[in-house]
C-alpha cells in the first residue's frame, strides 16, 4: 500500500514540476518495495526532466538490474539518448522497449520521432500509419497514468 501512496505522490509532484520532491518520493517508494523497477525509472524521469541525464542513466541502471527487459526503463534510456541528440541509440532503445511491450504507445511515438530525426522519413511515415491502425481501438499501455507528461 505504501508504494502506491508514494508512487501517486511522486507522480503528482512530477506533474507540478517539483522534480526533486518527486524523485524523493520515488526513492522512498523504492525503499518500501525494492523489487519494483517502476520507482527507479520514476527517479530517472525526474532527473531527466531536471536536465540531469547522467544521473537519470544511473537510476535506469538500477531498474534494469531488477528487470533487464523492463520496457519503461528502455524507453527512458531512449529519452536520455534523444536529450543528447543520439537518435540512433534512441531508436535502438525504443525498439527494445517495444519488444518488451508492443502496446506502449509512447514508445511507438518516440520511435517515430527518432526515425524522423535521422532522416528515415519513409520508415517513420509507415510506422505512423501502422500506429493509426494498431491503436485505433485506443487500448494501449503506459508505465504511468499520463505518459504525455514525460515528453
pLDDT of residue 136: 76
| Rounded Cα gap, residues 122 and 101, in angstroms | 24
| Rounded Cα gap, residues 83 and 108, in angstroms | 17
Q: pLDDT tens digit string along 100-144?
A: 998 899 999 999 999 999 999 999 999 999 888 887 776 555 554
pLDDT of residue 19: 94
| Rounded Cα gap, residues 21 and 114, in angstroms | 30
Place of cell 505522490: 9
Q: pLDDT tens digit string along 10-62?
A: 999 999 999 999 999 999 989 988 999 999 999 999 999 999 999 999 999 99
Q: pLDDT tens digit string along 65-86?
A: 999 999 999 999 999 999 999 9
Which ranges of 33-104 does DSSP label H, i.e. alpha helix? 38-49, 53-66, 71-83, 87-100
If one counts every other C-beta atom within 10 angstroms of the C-beta of residue 117, the result is 16
| Rounded Cα gap, residues 60 and 70, in angstroms | 10
Amino acid at each position: 500500500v505504501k508504494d502506491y501512496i508514494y508512487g501517486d505522490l511522486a507522480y503528482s509532484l512530477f506533474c507540478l514540476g517539483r522534480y526533486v520532491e518527486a524523485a524523493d518520493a520515488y526513492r522512498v517508494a523504492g525503499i518500501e518495495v525494492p523489487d519494483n523497477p517502476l520507482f527507479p525509472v520514476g527517479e530517472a524521469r525526474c532527473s531527466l526532466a531536471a536536465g540531469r541525464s547522467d544521473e537519470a542513466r544511473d537510476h535506469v541502471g538500477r531498474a534494469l538490474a531488477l528487470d533487464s527487459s523492463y520496457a519503461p526503463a528502455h524507453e527512458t534510456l531512449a529519452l536520455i539518448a534523444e536529450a543528447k541528440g543520439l537518435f540512433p541509440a534512441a531508436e535502438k532503445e525504443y525498439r527494445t522497449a517495444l519488444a518488451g511491450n508492443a502496446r506502449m504507445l509512447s514508445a511507438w511515438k518516440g520511435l517515430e520521432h527518432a526515425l524522423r530525426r535521422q532522416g528515415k522519413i519513409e520508415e517513420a511515415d509507415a510506422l505512423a500509419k501502422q500506429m493509426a491502425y494498431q491503436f485505433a481501438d485506443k487500448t494501449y499501455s503506459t508505465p504511468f497514468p499520463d505518459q504525455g507528461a514525460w515528453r
